[in-house]
Amino acid sequence: MAKEEAKKLIANNKKAYHDYFIEEKYEAGIELFGTEVKSLRLGKCSIKESFIRIDKGEVYAYGMHISPYEMGNIFNKDPMRPKKLLLHKSEILKLLGKITEKGYTLVPLEVYFKEGRAKLEIGLAKGKKLYDKREDIAKKDLKRETEREFKIKNL
């Protein structure tokens, strides 16, 4: 009997799906300190303005805001400090090869707890043009309209 994976979502980045085509997704651990984990458990995290870079063979998330823990004291860290992401070396090398290609970047998609450990889902993304965004909005409107009509017919 397979154990079902419990995934407690903390924060997600809807804007990433609007601005980018997500081609591949990776799960990375986050190197955090005690008070940051406690703050995450309270849901105090934002990844809307964050981005990911690879420096000297290590992956870092910049701009990821984890609010200071209220009950913490001198152990609270800077909320905007770069957080190191934990990935296998082969994954890092693969990502490094991909992002050197034109148009590819790494974006954070969601922060969650999986089996008691903080995880960040990152996506290998290619930027959308304005006309791509308009297409997505048109599709979403069409879907919403058809659902509305279906709901009215079934009442």
CATH code for the part of the protein at 7-128: 2.40.280.10
State pTM to two decimals: 0.74
Asked if residue 106 lies in contact with residue 92, where contact means CB atoms within 8 angstroms, the answer is no
* pLDDT at 29 (0 to 100): 92
pLDDT tens figures, 11-25: 888 888 888 888 889
Write down the H helix ranges in 9-129: 14-19, 34-41, 89-99
Domain boundaries, the chain: 7-128
One-letter amino acid identity for 24?
A: E
